[in-house]
Chain A
């Protein structure tokens, strides 16, 4: 037989081959060693927002940092990623930025699962200049311990945008009852409602669609949050230890039904565009054309309002530079009127209202800041970068370049004007900070749906259709349903 002729030889050969193969396979599976070593430059990938990139701030920041740290072998570069890149999905597998700049609600969703580092905030140079409220936006309690996972940079809140030349000619006589040099309709919502009514009544166009007062997407929780938070509504309640309790959803708390009544009244002075995102899309050109007296937006869209207004002036014959200068001079951005009617009735004449008839306007806002990825290989270098990026010089440069409202008190005071006002609003509790927990993701769509439905009621009434929310009880019930929807979205499937 064949196998019998060289049996031993064949067996030895088979064994030898098997051993060689096995040895080779074992050798090939060895782990590659790290190539880091002394003398090499540490490269940090920085994720900034698109505006900071397009306006050139990021480049200036990186250049300044790289110049300052070239002797320490640290270099920062643009991470070149989408500004909302998912660190939770990419970070554990070695992708994603080392340092990221995002709003507190977004950044802190990473904190719960420890995708961003907790920081010893007292070690940052900016620590003593930033108010506690801003630091709290990045606070998280895990296993009974308090951690801070971000360094605040600036505050965001919805603002009112209008054209100065669209103010009524006689506003100082007719619309400034207290004579303080600020039009009443920028001080309280009843006068803003009254002025909006006046504009609607005097709209002489054939389809009555050319003159509006206050305009906003009323289905947008962020832009129309004053109708909820000014009346005692809240997103999540608090536990005894001060942490957020996402089982307690509070959009129906306090007198929020009054706020919804005010929202409905305001909707009646707008067009149906307030039910969907039409106004959010067309507010820039409509403010520029004068069709909207004022519209709500965030400070980072100031440039878009100016751009559309400048374009209008160019069409009217001005040169590009003159048009830009005139648009910048004419376009104003202010905070929302500070007072809302306590009973939610915007139609009451403000002259008949006493001090107790008002509540303070509270809007939803956010604090943007830097976080450090837990998956970075250069933690210390990242801390150095964040410290540098939140220094006085860099925050001032950021404020000058991007028009942001900084959380650093020294820069805010120096900038003065609106920046200082926004800073004070945060300190004085007139900005309701977006909760910094993951569950906040579940509030937007249910609230968008209910706010859209309530705003639509104004048009149901106008069109002779059945009104869904005729009284405060039905509004209260709708808000309670919204609370339940948010709760269900968070908890129904999570057990």
Chain B
């Protein structure tokens, strides 16, 4: 509603624009008016009591340091940041409700001017639920997403612009430092070289592990789908058993198996060979290959189950027709099976890539506790997520950690959106319907 139409509008509309719900009350829309007024009053009271202070606190992040020895409470920068953020969310929510309030009073006003009856609260709710059921259905999930997803994500993003971490942890006061953390990552030589080395390995790891897991699962599913394979249920049970064991138990078991005191080295030395450092400081490529293997061990069963389900929906007539046309088995796989499976699993493939990109457990459990030469607080097998952990949890550099996680978020978002939008699963949604 622009200024001109507001000037021309009736008094209740002007009143509602000033005090939410007052116009509705003037038109004897008691329940609706009261509800709007309640929201208005609650917001005003909130702003007076806390909101205004929280918003100021959001910008200052505190001015008085606590002294636990003297029992002075002081300001807690992290809590102030969180409360300030919450205040902005409340203000946005208030304006959303206010906007609906103005639309509602204009609607009522229009009806009154036209001499039409204004529906009561129950009737209005009923009409609203009928016409805009999607809003009713989605309001709770959206609120949940806002509180449990968006709020923490925005909080994490904001932390990336502070000096929170290291020695600057409450009760010490945290400050805004703009892009300082990003500048550190990209300008301090140690950190910059570590970041790019880890990023390169991380991308390679994500591509390789996604490829191995996906095609490993598909291969197993195709193999166990063959008519000539006897006792399919029995063979399928093995990968499922591997899947059923908690991932970190599997990783610790493999760590033990590949350690110097583990069974593999036991048999090597028993046979007269020298113990092999599969995961030690010199391991290099060996440790990376073991990581890929362990990840495949854990993930292939999932891909296999998924592919088995998809293959059961394949139209066997296609293969018959292809055989009659003289297509080889490989050609049938390339032209029929693979497009169908990839089409159905593109979103899963993307989540699998993201999962592998952010696969924290593999190298944390297999090879944690090493900082290598040429790396800043990291080893040559660490992924960005492991480095993020080293920085933020082991070394308390929360601000830098948040900046790294923001970079990870940007990379993975760009990748997933690009792949998904360009995939046939998105562009030709109805191909296999």
Report the bound CA distance from A273 to B112 in whole Å. 88
Instruction: Verify B275–A271 contact, CB threshold 8 A.
Output: yes
Instruction: Verify B376–A488 contact, CB threshold 8 A.
Output: yes
Our pick among B27, B269, B400 for the contact of A2 (Cβ within 8 Å) is B27
Instruction: Verify B274–A3 contact, CB threshold 8 A.
Output: no
- Stretch in A32-40, A112-120, A227-235, A305-313 with 4+ CB within 8 Å of B: A112-120
Report the bound CA distance from A481 to B373 in whole Å. 8
Instruction: Verify A113–B112 contact, CB threshold 8 A.
Output: no
Instruction: Verify A113–B260 contact, CB threshold 8 A.
Output: no
Report the bound CA distance from A374 to B44 in whole Å. 37
A88 at the interface (CB under 8 A from B): yes
Instruction: Verify B165–A449 contact, CB threshold 8 A.
Output: no
The smallest beta-carbon distance between A349 and chain B, in angstroms, is 30
Instruction: Verify B277–A14 contact, CB threshold 8 A.
Output: no
Chain B 1-26 against A: per-residue CB contact (8 Å), 1 yes, 0 no? 00000000011100000010010011
B397 at the interface (CB under 8 A from A): yes
A53 at the interface (CB under 8 A from B): no
A141 at the interface (CB under 8 A from B): no
Chain B's closest residue to A444 (CB) is B369
Instruction: Verify A21–B281 contact, CB threshold 8 A.
Output: no
Our pick among B67, B281, B400 for the contact of A453 (Cβ within 8 Å) is B281
Instruction: Verify A276–B260 contact, CB threshold 8 A.
Output: yes
List 10 contacting pairs A-B, 8 Å CB cutoff, sorted by A: A2-B27, A14-B19, A21-B41, A113-B68, A272-B265, A275-B281, A452-B280, A459-B275, A489-B377, A493-B191
Instruction: Verify A494–B38 contact, CB threshold 8 A.
Output: no
Size of B's binding interface in residues, CB under 8 A: 61
Our pick among A17, A113, A275 for the contact of B280 (Cβ within 8 Å) is A275
Size of A's binding interface in residues, CB under 8 A: 57
Chain B's closest residue to A19 (CB) is B41
- For the complex of A and B, list the 10 residue pairs with the smallest distance between their C-beta atoms, beginning with the closest: A278-B261, A374-B68, A272-B260, A494-B166, A21-B41, A3-B26, A25-B45, A272-B275, A114-B68, A273-B260
Chain A 478-495 against B: per-residue CB contact (8 Å), 1 yes, 0 no? 000100010011001110
The smallest beta-carbon distance between B131 and chain A, in angstroms, is 25
Chain B 372-399 against A: per-residue CB contact (8 Å), 1 yes, 0 no? 1100110000000000000100110100
In the bound complex, residues from chain A placing their C-beta under 8 Å from that of B38 are: 21
In the bound complex, residues from chain B placing their C-beta under 8 Å from that of A456 are: 277, 280-282
The smallest beta-carbon distance between B392 and chain A, in angstroms, is 11
17 A-B pairs besides A2-B26, A29-B45, A276-B260 with CB distance below 8 A are A3-B27, A10-B26, A17-B34, A29-B49, A92-B170, A92-B171, A114-B171, A117-B69, A271-B260, A272-B277, A273-B261, A442-B395, A445-B371, A485-B371, A489-B371, A492-B190, A493-B397
What is the number of contacts between chain A and chain B, taking CB atoms within 8 Å? 144
The smallest beta-carbon distance between B218 and chain A, in angstroms, is 36
Instruction: Verify A275–B260 contact, CB threshold 8 A.
Output: yes
Instruction: Verify B372–A493 contact, CB threshold 8 A.
Output: no
Instruction: Verify A25–B400 contact, CB threshold 8 A.
Output: no
Interface centre among A10, A115, A438, by most B CB within 10 Å?
A10
The smallest beta-carbon distance between A211 and chain B, in angstroms, is 15
In the bound complex, residues from chain A placing their C-beta under 8 Å from that of B69 are: 114, 117-118, 374
Main secondary structure, interface of A, reads helix
Q: With A456-B282, A463-B274, A492-B190 in contact, do A2 and B28 touch (Cβ < 8 Å)?
A: yes
B129 at the interface (CB under 8 A from A): no
Chain A 73-103 against B: per-residue CB contact (8 Å), 1 yes, 0 no? 0000000000000001001100000000000
CB proximity to B under 8 Å, residues A428-486 = 438, 441-442, 445-446, 448-449, 452-453, 456, 459-460, 462-463, 481, 485
Instruction: Verify B184–A493 contact, CB threshold 8 A.
Output: yes
Chain B 337-375 against A: per-residue CB contact (8 Å), 1 yes, 0 no? 000000000000000000000000000000001111100
Q: With A113-B169, A117-B69, A207-B269 in contact, do A25 and B281 touch (Cβ < 8 Å)?
A: no
A209 at the interface (CB under 8 A from B): yes
Main secondary structure, interface of B, reads loop
Report the bound CA distance from A157 to B242 in whole Å. 42
Interface centre among A26, A481, A489, by most B CB within 10 Å?
A489
Report the bound CA distance from A275 to B262 in whole Å. 13
Instruction: Verify B49–A21 contact, CB threshold 8 A.
Output: no
Instruction: Verify B167–A494 contact, CB threshold 8 A.
Output: yes
Report the bound CA distance from A88 to B277 in whole Å. 39
In the bound complex, residues from chain A placing their C-beta under 8 Å from that of B49 are: 26, 29
B411 at the interface (CB under 8 A from A): no
Chain B 162-193 against A: per-residue CB contact (8 Å), 1 yes, 0 no? 00011101111000000000001000101100
Report the bound CA distance from A8 to B254 in whole Å. 81
In the bound complex, residues from chain A placing their C-beta under 8 Å from that of B369 are: 445, 448
In the bound complex, residues from chain B placing their C-beta under 8 Å from that of A488 are: 190, 376
In the bound complex, residues from chain B placing their C-beta under 8 Å from that of A276 are: 259-261, 279-280
A182 at the interface (CB under 8 A from B): no
Chain B's closest residue to A445 (CB) is B371
In the bound complex, residues from chain A placing their C-beta under 8 Å from that of B25 are: 10, 13-14, 17
Report the bound CA distance from A481 to B190 in whole Å. 13
Report the bound CA distance from A91 to B259 in whole Å. 39
Instruction: Verify B112–A1 contact, CB threshold 8 A.
Output: yes
Q: With A22-B45, A209-B269, A275-B277 in contact, do A375 and B68 touch (Cβ < 8 Å)?
A: yes
A166 at the interface (CB under 8 A from B): no
In the bound complex, residues from chain A placing their C-beta under 8 Å from that of B377 are: 445, 489
Report the bound CA distance from A318 to B64 in whole Å. 68
Instruction: Verify B41–A113 contact, CB threshold 8 A.
Output: no
A202 at the interface (CB under 8 A from B): no
A353 at the interface (CB under 8 A from B): no
Report the bound CA distance from A114 to B172 in whole Å. 10
The smallest beta-carbon distance between B180 and chain A, in angstroms, is 9
Chain B's closest residue to A491 (CB) is B166
The smallest beta-carbon distance between B228 and chain A, in angstroms, is 44
Instruction: Verify A92–B76 contact, CB threshold 8 A.
Output: yes
Report the bound CA distance from A2 to B395 in whole Å. 68
Instruction: Verify B67–A492 contact, CB threshold 8 A.
Output: no
The smallest beta-carbon distance between A272 and chain B, in angstroms, is 4
The smallest beta-carbon distance between A210 and chain B, in angstroms, is 12
